[in-house]
Amino acid sequence: MIGRRAKPLTQGDADGDKTSSRREPPTAEHMLDVLRGTLYASPFSVFSGVRSAVGARVTDLGIADGVVADTSHGERIVLRALEVKRSQSDLAAELADPSKALAVGRYCETFELVLPAPAKNFLGSKLQIPFGWGLIEVDGPRATRLKDPTNRRAEPAPQSFINALLRSAGAHVRPKEHAKAAAPERRIVGYVSGDVVILGPCLHYATRPRAKNASIWLPCFGCLAEEPSHSAAIAAALDDADPEALESYAVQIARLLGRRVA
């Protein structure tokens, strides 16, 4: 079993990984799912693909990647807008006209940008987060808030927007149930921290239920999405391998390198 703490990659590992930049980034729905289990777990509810209104006569329609309903404020519900971006081009298009986000954002007290790790690769001198926006980085099953958003006064949400929010809730639940049934089961082969575990042999991260008699087999959404193995899990597997296993890994790596050269 892989050790309890997944070994982080060193700078040398990162510099040597020439394929990481070509890996497919996680989907927007995957990143929202991570938020549902971390920063925005209960008492929050995360809705995806939220329209600014529903109806045949809607003008200036806008769609937010995500909206968080915060029910921790007693009698009132605080809404928080999320924009999830998977590429620099997608992010550049969004930041070129931040006012587009106001179609839904006007009803929200905060606005946050959600990016795959490392977020610094998406931002730079040419791409700057608009004033007041927060920044969240998603890395495997983890989400880290890198910048807090600024609270602002939101417009009262009209019934047409509430209807759109509720409609997006129903659209989210049904596909999620089917995805869980379709995801292949993988065995827990290691622990990272808290409820985060490593599944094998795929070496994807997953979140383990907190039930006392929870199964050591979990559905692997990483396999379902055909995502690559998590780099930190690979590093941990190599770190814990015995000489025989290391030799087997070396043979596989040499075979893959030879195939790419050819």
Query: How many angstroms separate the CA atoms of 144 and 71, rounded?
Result: 21
Mention the CATH class of domain 24-172. Answer: alpha beta
**What is residue 260's predicted lDDT score, i.e. its pLDDT?**
56
For residues 223 and 32, is the Cβ–Cβ distance under 8 A?
A: no
Task: Give the mean model confidence (pLDDT) for residues 104-124.
Answer: 89
Task: Give the mean model confidence (pLDDT) for residues 147-160.
Answer: 92
N- to C-terminal Cα separation, the chain: 35
- Highest mean predicted confidence (pLDDT) among 9-18, 101-110, 201-210, 216-225: 101-110
Tell whether pTM > 0.85. no
Task: Give the mean model confidence (pLDDT) for residues 228-232.
Answer: 72
In the structure, what pLDDT confidence band is assigned to residue 156 with cuts at 50, 70 and 90? very high
**What is residue 122's predicted lDDT score, i.e. its pLDDT?**
81
In the structure, what pLDDT confidence band is assigned to residue 154 with cuts at 50, 70 and 90? very high
For residues 134 and 115, is the Cβ–Cβ distance under 8 A?
A: no
In the structure, what pLDDT confidence band is assigned to residue 53 with cuts at 50, 70 and 90? confident
By percentage, how much of the chain surpasses pLDDT 70? Answer: 77
Question: Average pLDDT of the chain?
Answer: 78
In the structure, what pLDDT confidence band is assigned to residue 12 with cuts at 50, 70 and 90? very low
Residue 254 pLDDT greater than 80, yes or no? yes
Query: How many angstroms separate the CA atoms of 123 and 34, rounded?
Result: 21
Question: What residue spans define the domains of the chain?
Answer: 11-20+183-261, 24-172
For residues 236 and 3, is the Cβ–Cβ distance under 8 A?
A: yes
Residues in the chain: 262
Sign of CA dihedral 246, 252, 255, 259: negative
Which of 34 and 101 is assigned the larger pLDDT? 34
- Highest mean predicted confidence (pLDDT) among 39-48, 54-63, 216-225: 39-48
- Highest mean predicted confidence (pLDDT) among 40-44, 101-105, 108-112, 166-170: 108-112
Residue 226 pLDDT greater than 50, yes or no? yes
In the structure, what pLDDT confidence band is assigned to residue 26 with cuts at 50, 70 and 90? confident
pLDDT tens for 188-206 read 888 776 667 888 888 887 7
Query: How many angstroms separate the CA atoms of 86 and 40, rounded?
Result: 20
In the structure, what pLDDT confidence band is assigned to residue 60 with cuts at 50, 70 and 90? low
For residues 101 and 94, is the Cβ–Cβ distance under 8 A?
A: yes
